Structure 1
Amino acid sequence: MGRRTWIVLLALVAMVAAACANEPVPPPEVTPTPTATPTTQPGTPTQIVVGVDDLPPGFNPHLLADVSPVTQALATLVLPSVFRVDENGVAQLDTTIATSAKVTSSEPFTVSYELNLEASWSTNAPIAAEDFVFLWERMRAEPGVADAAGYRLITAVRSRAGGKAVDVEFAEPYPAWQYLFSGLLPAHLLKDAPGSWVGALRNGLPASGGPFKVGSVDRGRGEIVLVRNDLYWDAPTVVDELVLRRLDPEDVAAGLASGDIDLAVTTAGPELRTALVGLQPAPRTQPVPRAEVVTLGLRADTGPLRNLAARKAVAALIDREAIRAEVAPEALRADAYGRAPSQPGYTATAPERRADAAEVAALLQQAGWTRTSPTAPWMADGAPVRLTIGAGAERPGDLRVAAAVARQLSGAGIPATVVAPPVVDLYSAETVAPTPPSTSAAPTSGATATPAAAPATAATPTSTPTEAAPAVPAAPTGIAVDLMVLNRPAAGDAATAVASEFGCMSGSATGPEQVPGPTGFCQPLLDALMTELMTPDPRPDLAQAVQQDLWEQAAELPLFQPVDVVVSTPESDAATGVGPGPLLTGPFTGAQRWRPLPSS
């Protein structure tokens, strides 16, 4: 061993000795129990139990079909993200994942990430460049993804330093790059598994890169158990388990009264308010706008609504405010594309007035539709026009929206049928199974649904003679829906959100042809304008012009932003400090620091 090597070794020993003398570092796998934290019986895991509305169809945070508060909670607590947003929606570097992330070149525009050497999955595999590559490739190639426009601008993802450094090159400068590579997924488990993008994440997340990991998912009981990730390299969770339990509003009140649950994150509404009356001490309720907007998509690539005049007429017939008031009266009215109503910078862009009856009739006649009298059903190509509305079978709220839309259209002489396929099929497939809504998902507040044992039929306008609608044909390849209820996630960047929702999905600089969006909407000229919006210096009035054009094209009708409520007791407030949290990460932000409640 040479003299220089000895000098380096002696210097390192001295540095370690000094560090140990001044600031001892505990072993990373030791999980001490805070002395101030009350405990239960020895050996019994400490836990916090949270009531929630329901479990989503799956837990992939990048799928439109899986958008939900529970998916958001798991992504926040289990999956690694390079940046996380603060209360103001500003992206902040998460140094547990990356020690550095910055623009390192302008030609080509390149962002370089230096990953935390300790960051690893709960399988002991490192969080590395392959996870970046996997997410980038899937976001470009899979149907039904959310917020993909930024990934389509990426031309290459290169690994350095044994996978612990990543260089990402873009076709053009992209100022919102900080919002990319959130909710990284374990490539080493998913990249070679057929159908893994959907199938492997249907009943949990196979590995964790955060303070919690998924211990179990019991759909029968409606319960998810998150447990401490013992291989997490940063501060460990205080509680051993975080339990998310499906409960109705009445069960939330009973659970809080009995101590079976500690708090709840559930849909705001009169049922919950009524159920909470009489609880002592009175629980605290905090409104929590969800990170999503419910919209109505109009199919632009096939069927009768591919005609712009017909699409505009049908959109004008739909009373968006009446739907919100009936289905989600506590929700926030949505009158713009790209941003949710609760997001900073939101401005309503909807037209001030809807087309009147005469204007609607003129548009339908322009599309080639006819009717024999003002109360007769509309005809096209010699047959009555019948529209099909799709809503995800797993989403009762969406089914209520679909039923309300069907009634409005039927009342205007356009009978409409509601079908309820699996939501992942609705958002990603060109055709779906003609499955009627089940009676268990029957809408409330006067809405109607077709029993599961009978074929779905159109509602009949009260102003026209009764005419039975034919059963939905059980074609082997399914049917194409004309309208669909969509759940659009709130994004960090409004321009990216608009381009993701309405872009032609074929503008990536490299790679395979992109899949179309759920509605098949594509306007090449508008697509170019939306791409410009994502650049550092778009024209000053371009954002408003794009909004106006989208309303004119009627590709989608924003309806409302759902609002949940956090229900907590004085004890759970003191133990958790729970609040609404940032919009994009939600009320479970910081749950790794929640303490168990005192034993009753």
Structure 2
Amino acid sequence: MRSVGLAIVVGLLVFLAACTNAPVVAPAPEPPPVEPEPTPTQVVVGVDDLGAGFNPHLLADRSPVTQALSTLVLPSVFRPDAEGALQLDTTVATSAEVVSTSPFTVSYELNVQASWSSNSPIAAEDFVYLWQQMRSAPGTVDGEGYRHITDVRSRAGGKAVDVVFDQAYPQWQYLFSGLLPAHILKDAPGSWTGATAGGLPASGGPFRVIGVDRGRGEVTLARNDLYWATPATLDQIVLRRLDAGPMAEALRTGGVDVAMPATEPEFTSALAAYEGTPAPRPTVTDLALRADNGPLADVRVRQAIGSLLDRERIRTEVAPGALAANAFGLAPSQPGYAPTGPAGPDPAAAERLLTEAGYTRSATGAWVLGSTPLDIVVAAGAERSTDLAVAQAVARQLEAAGIGVEVVAPPAADLYSLRTVAATPPPTSTTPTPVPTATPAPTTAPAGAPTAAATTATTTAAATSATSSPNATVRADVLVLPRAVGGPVGPQLASDYGCPEPTAALPNPPALPGGFCSAVLQPDLEAVATAAVPDPGRLATIERVLWAQLPALPLFQQTSLIVSTRSAATATGFGPGPLVTGPLTGAQRWVPPAD
């Protein structure tokens, strides 16, 4: 028994020892709390329209939003300072200077750190791409300087560029602004027009485009984390399209921090609680009168149209906050501007001119040439609501004077580049204008209803435009045309009214949207385009000849209403900015408004 008891005791001791040496399992640690993602710092900018596309070099894409994107996203060799004087942007080029006068050659040394957000360098190929498009693509903005370039040469692995001109060109510093990413666009479907309709595919500035939502009416910019210079302070800038009432409410509740809508009654009234500042936009709205074909090929008919139209009435109906324009060169907001044309209208002069051209009044009061009625086509870009309102106002006045009018609304990119366009009628209701599928364009319509002027115009569309077959094409006689302003007046006049000359490299240069070309005027246009300071006498001669030939009829320069909340005004210093770069100039230095 003693041996059995001893065995039991030994077993218990062994068991207890085994239990004592067993490892202790610690409880699992609590997972760390998940930190919420920080809310991006941002400024929301209220706008009245997003525009048709975002290529700053296309007439069809002229808009304050495109101007803002060009200023904040695209690289430019020179930029205007607060007074509008051009300064070298050393984040893009460390030097740019004339290195030869025979031939006239400008050499650019590019910043070796400068690169696109796609990680490709900003290089000579971007200069080549812009030069080639500006001299060969129709419907461009200020192409004159690029037509004088004969070669663009790459050095230092693309980080140095020599630009050769056919003669001395003193305004060379205005070229190569808003460079585009050639390595993406040159092979992209639609390239020059289509590839920028939905945004900008790469950034060479402090911000990049991360979203274009036309259904919501928003363009979102985010800080470009690959930007090699001082980074932007804000995480995001959102450009939000709103009508007048919602914009005022968004400013009141904090949904919008600053705003820059058109200076029109619905906005000035809705935003009356804020101290607004008018800021001119770098675009004058003209009527281009087709001088190369159709009834307006006769200068007497063009002059008659000009005499019939009450331009001041058109402005007050469509854009009463705009500045009346009455010159072909300088815009009303530019120093030195002075009206150079007649005030008008002059119905007696119009009747005399039409009679001299062989037209008579029919029993119904319509103007006819023999048995053929005087019918013209007035066209405006489908995506440009103010232009559509202008076209309708023009149609009402001409029809009241006995001229038949068809109003069409093709895609803006087609209107300024093609000789014939789709005979798409303008909208007949307040629904957003659909974008035809024939041309690459935004896939969804802008949010919200049109402005009051556009609404008034579209409700009368059925009375002022003929019904066209969906597949019909027409040649527009009168085009509502945006004209870029803000640069030197000589190259601007040559770009807008000169005759692009054929060269061995470009035997068929694109014609101007209005088809105008005057051999008599061409020497004066060339002289002012290549002068450091244009001769005032030549400028006066050009204005006089243009009023006599009337390839276009200036209407008005739109302005923006610059408003902001109190906290946003302190945080951003939001203001008009230089005419060329606009209210978002310097937005990379904005800070978030205080709550």
SS in structure 2 at match of 1:312: helix
Cα distance, 1:224 vs structure 2: 0.8
Structure 1 position 92 matched with structure 2 position 92: no
Change in CA separation of 1:568 and 1:385 when aligned onto 2, cut-off 3 Å: same
SS in structure 2 at match of 1:294: strand
Q: Which amino acid aligns with 1:334?
A: A
Distance in 2, Cα, partners of 1:585 & 1:357: 41
Distance in 1, Cα, partners of 2:467 & 2:119: 54
Aligned to 2:439: none
Distance in 2, Cα, partners of 1:198 & 1:183: 15
Q: Which of 43, 47, 58 in structure 2 is aligned with 1:63?
A: 58
Cα distance, 1:298 vs structure 2: 0.6
Distance in 1, Cα, partners of 2:239 & 2:565: 17
Structure 1 position 427 matched with structure 2 position 416: yes
SS in structure 2 at match of 1:50: strand
The 8 Å contact of residues 244 and 267 in structure 2, kept in 1 or not, is answered as: yes
| Percentage of identical aligned residues | 55
**1:498-555 deviations in Å (ceiling 9; x for gaps):** 1111112225574342111111111122122211111236555111101111111110
Distance in 1, Cα, partners of 2:497 & 2:549: 11
Distance in 2, Cα, partners of 1:232 & 1:249: 36
Distance in 2, Cα, partners of 1:178 & 1:345: 21
Q: CA RMSD in A?
A: 2.0
Aligned to 2:307: 316
Distance in 2, Cα, partners of 1:55 & 1:87: 26
Q: Which amino acid aligns with 1:74?
A: L
**1:119-149 deviations in Å (ceiling 9; x for gaps):** 1100111101100000000011111111101
Q: Which of 579, 582, 595 in structure 2 is aligned with 1:583?
A: 579
Structure 1: runs of 5+ lacking an equivalent: 1-39, 460-469
Q: Which amino acid aligns with 2:94?
A: T
Which segment drifts farther, 62-71 or 252-261?
252-261
The 8 Å contact of residues 266 and 452 in structure 2, kept in 1 or not, is answered as: no
Distance in 2, Cα, partners of 1:108 & 1:146: 26
Distance in 2, Cα, partners of 1:133 & 1:298: 33
Aligned to 2:569: 573
Aligned to 2:546: 550
Counterparts of residues 455-494 of structure 1 (less than 5 Å): 458=464, 471-472=467-468, 476=472, 478-494=473-489
Q: Which amino acid aligns with 1:329?
A: P
Q: Which amino acid aligns with 1:573?
A: A
Distance in 2, Cα, partners of 1:333 & 1:355: 14
Aligned to 1:246: 241
SS in structure 2 at match of 1:110: strand
Q: Which of 365, 380, 384 in structure 2 is aligned with 1:376?
A: 365
Aligned to 1:4: none
Structure 1 position 306 matched with structure 2 position 297: yes
Structure 1 position 357 matched with structure 2 position 347: yes
Structure 1 position 283 matched with structure 2 position 292: no
Aligned to 1:6: none
Aligned to 1:109: 104
Aligned to 1:517: 512
Q: Which amino acid aligns with 2:424?
A: T
Aligned to 1:561: 557
Q: Which amino acid aligns with 1:347?
A: A
Aligned to 2:165: 170
**1:224-271 deviations in Å (ceiling 9; x for gaps):** 110010010110010101111111111111101111111111111222
Cα distance, 1:475 vs structure 2: 5.6
* TM-score of the pair, normalised by structure 2: 0.87
The 8 Å contact of residues 141 and 512 in structure 1, kept in 2 or not, is answered as: no
Distance in 1, Cα, partners of 2:451 & 2:303: 27
The 8 Å contact of residues 153 and 508 in structure 1, kept in 2 or not, is answered as: no
Cα distance, 1:45 vs structure 2: 1.2
Q: Which amino acid aligns with 2:417?
A: S
Counterparts of residues 40-439 of structure 1 (less than 5 Å): 43-277=38-272, 282-351=273-342, 354=344, 356-372=346-362, 376-438=365-427, 439=429
Cα distance, 1:337 vs structure 2: 1.3
Aligned to 1:17: none
What number of residue pairs does the alignment pair up?
540
The 8 Å contact of residues 381 and 411 in structure 2, kept in 1 or not, is answered as: yes
Distance in 1, Cα, partners of 2:503 & 2:545: 23
Distance in 2, Cα, partners of 1:524 & 1:356: 29
The 8 Å contact of residues 393 and 399 in structure 1, kept in 2 or not, is answered as: yes
The 8 Å contact of residues 498 and 530 in structure 1, kept in 2 or not, is answered as: yes
Change in CA separation of 1:51 and 1:41 when aligned onto 2, cut-off 3 Å: farther
Change in CA separation of 1:174 and 1:507 when aligned onto 2, cut-off 3 Å: farther
The 8 Å contact of residues 425 and 467 in structure 2, kept in 1 or not, is answered as: no
Structure 2: runs of 5+ lacking an equivalent: 1-34, 433-449
The 8 Å contact of residues 491 and 530 in structure 2, kept in 1 or not, is answered as: no
Cα distance, 1:474 vs structure 2: 5.3
Cα distance, 1:444 vs structure 2: 4.4
Distance in 2, Cα, partners of 1:230 & 1:425: 36
The 8 Å contact of residues 309 and 345 in structure 2, kept in 1 or not, is answered as: no
Aligned to 1:495: 490
Change in CA separation of 1:570 and 1:106 when aligned onto 2, cut-off 3 Å: same
Runs of 4 or more consecutive aligned structure 1 residues displaced over 3 Å after TM superposition: 353-358, 441-452, 456-459, 470-476, 507-510, 537-540
Cα distance, 1:369 vs structure 2: 1.5
Distance in 2, Cα, partners of 1:422 & 1:42: 42
The 8 Å contact of residues 277 and 561 in structure 2, kept in 1 or not, is answered as: yes
The 8 Å contact of residues 332 and 560 in structure 1, kept in 2 or not, is answered as: yes
Cα distance, 1:368 vs structure 2: 2.2
SS in structure 1 at match of 2:164: strand
Distance in 2, Cα, partners of 1:558 & 1:409: 17
Cα distance, 1:447 vs structure 2: 4.6
The 8 Å contact of residues 189 and 195 in structure 2, kept in 1 or not, is answered as: no
The 8 Å contact of residues 79 and 209 in structure 1, kept in 2 or not, is answered as: yes
Q: Which amino acid aligns with 1:340?
A: A
Which segment drifts farther, 556-565 or 353-362?
353-362
